[in-house]
Structure 1
Amino acid sequence: MKLRELAHARAGDKGNVSNLAIFAYEAGDYAYLAEHVTAERVKAHFSDIVGGDVVRYELPNLACLNFVMQEALGGGVTRSLSLDAHGKALSSALLEMEIPDKQSEPSH
């Protein structure tokens, strides 16, 4: 299943750092997302554009996972000629990530 089926996302930037936050539509899905949307999986998902570390911050009270991706915007907003200099489309790209179908997971 696509991540977008359980969450929505927001993007932010600072220099050459992209910040992507995903929010579970339903608070009860937060633990499932935390299990399956790891920093390693996000870095692999963006392997073509992220040259640095990806760090995940957990905000369970908001049902949110926040990912900070270093070296992710082609040199930075003010130095890049890329079409999406601020990386706002990266939130949509993250929501395309495949995660295991929740219906096929055994109950914990």
Structure 2
Amino acid sequence: MTLPITVQIYLLAAVVSFAVAGLIHLLVVTLDATRRREVSPPLAVDQPTTPRPTAPTPAQVAAISAALNEVLGSYRIVRIETAERGHTWVSGARAAQHDSHHLARSPGRSPSQ
């Protein structure tokens, strides 16, 4: 009794898929073992850590602005503000875009459609 050609193809695809999955698993295990050997020992607790950078102060911003003014010429700084303040128009535009997808609210359509 021979199997139809489509069943043979599906069986062959399953065998190849499992072989590839086994090969990938073997590669992942091997690379993980290699990585674990190459990892340096953890840092001791008593070692000092480097300080994290902070946001620039207004004096630093003024100094950078003055330096840029000398290099680039006279420009007028219109506004210096935090990055969070300018995102209000983004949320409004996003809400308008999402509201445009409500078909019941579209002009010319009845609520029952």
TM range (shorter): under 0.3
Q: Which has the bigger relative contact order, CA under 8 A and spacing at least 6?
A: 1
Which protein shows a greater Rg? 2
> Which structure has the highest strand share of the two?
1
TM-score (norm: length of structure 1): 0.19
